[in-house]
């Protein structure tokens, strides 16, 4: 299959491209390479995929030096509907995996228009191009943030999610509604995935894993919100990508019958934030200096994924413990930033 991966220079998108290529799929990566966080990290991921930074230009399709024309990349905004439509018209995708989005709960309070442009208008560009250029299979990223202040645990896809507490969450809920509508109207098979706190090598600098490791190794205090009374369903990136590979293979073999499906994808083992910090302390061999702070606007106390649906339909089995995952991230961080 020829697969479009949007957000290919992003954290999960990069890892997914690696796995797709390892399995012999033809991959077209797309990313706008915005400066929400260090662009050098995004170029670093693309370098791992075989792309030369000097060759990457807006709206120019370039080939990987490692994988030739089996892996190409284009720098393009999702909301550029003419550019997206042109790409679909010439590439004839069998499957689209939409991971591109403006991420970050707290940042959505500062730049609301950017979130609607990227996450809503951008997703509409993808849906419209799938509709008009014959793409009948789509996997897209949603988020555990749609659960808002849901007090029922674990979080189930059958729970009401009509009360988001951040604009980021609202855009992700909007994506789910848009996807359902297009699936119903235009017979496009859709699988939506609500990601739960993904971490691992090449992770985003605005996420707790990166922030804590960076601060601890550089003898700076870490900010611990809600006085540490938080828990998260931390999920290692390889487990996330493994689940996505299984769904992709099911699409390839026409084993998905439902026109529209929505799943939680997480570790389903919530970890107290302070225990997560202890795992980082163990991996770094250093003690964190903790700055205890109140709860942040748009944040939630706990997340916990009910992954029953994914287990039943795709035999999903996350296997990476927090200790293993944290150690892998710390090793990558030390190597990438040359920390002794």
Helix or strand holding residue 139 (H, E): strand 137-143
- HEC secondary structure over 307-326: CHHHHHHHCCCCCCCHHHHH
88/184 Cα distance (integer angstroms)? 21
Helix or strand holding residue 98 (H, E): strand 95-98
210/204 Cα distance (integer angstroms)? 7
Packing angle between helix 208-217 and helix 322-336, nearest 10 degrees? 60
Q: Exposure string (b/e) for 164-189, b if CB count within 10 Å is 16 or more?
A: bbbbbbbbbbbbbebbeebbeeeebb
Helix or strand holding residue 217 (H, E): helix 208-217
Strands 137-143 and 189-195: parallel
Catalytic residue among 14, 20, 147, 168: 168
168 is catalytic: yes
Helix or strand holding residue 44 (H, E): helix 39-48
The sign of the dihedral angle between the CA atoms of 211, 216, 221, 223 is positive
- The three-state secondary structure class of 45 is helix
- The tokens describing 289, both together, are 């200096």
Which residues are the active-site residues? 168
């Amino acid at each position: 299959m020829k697969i479009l991966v949007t957000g290919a220079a992003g954290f999960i998108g990069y890892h997914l491209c690696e796995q797709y290529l390892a399995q012999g799929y033809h991959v077209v990566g797309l990313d706008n390479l915005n400066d929400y966080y260090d662009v050098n990290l995004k170029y670093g991921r693309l370098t791992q995929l075989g792309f030369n930074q000097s060759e990457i230009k807006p709206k120019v399709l370039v080939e990987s030096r490692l994988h030739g024309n089996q892996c190409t990349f284009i720098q393009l905004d999702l909301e550029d509907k003419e550019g997206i439509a042109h790409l679909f018209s010439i590439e004839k995708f069998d499957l689209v995996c939409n991971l591109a989005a403006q991420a970050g709960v707290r940042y959505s309070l500062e730049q609301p228009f950017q979130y609607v442009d990227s996450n809503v208008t951008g997703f509409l560009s993808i849906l419209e191009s799938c509709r008009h250029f014959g793409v009948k299979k789509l996997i897209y990223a949603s988020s555990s943030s749609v659960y808002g202040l849901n007090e029922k645990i674990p979080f189930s896809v059958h729970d009401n999610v009509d009360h988001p507490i951040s604009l980021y969450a609202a855009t992700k809920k909007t994506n789910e509604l848009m996807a359902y509508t297009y699936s119903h109207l235009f017979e496009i098979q859709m699988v939506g995935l609500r990601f739960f706190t993904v971490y691992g090598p090449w992770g985003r600098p605005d996420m707790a894993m990166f922030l804590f490791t960076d601060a601890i190794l550089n003898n700076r205090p870490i900010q611990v919100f809600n006085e540490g009374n938080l828990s998260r369903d931390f999920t290692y990136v390889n487990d996330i990508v493994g689940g996505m590979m299984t769904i992709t293979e099911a699409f390839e073999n026409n084993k998905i019958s439902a026109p529209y499906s929505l799943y939680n994808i997480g570790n389903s083992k919530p970890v107290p934030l302070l225990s997560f910090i202890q795992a980082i302390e163990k991996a770094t061999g250093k003690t964190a200096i903790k700055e205890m702070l109140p709860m942040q606007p748009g944040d939630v106390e706990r997340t916990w994924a009910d992954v029953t649906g994914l287990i039943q339909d795709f035999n999903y089995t996350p296997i990476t413990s927090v200790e293993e995952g944290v150690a892998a991230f710390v090793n990558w961080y030390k190597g990438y930033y040359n920390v002794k």
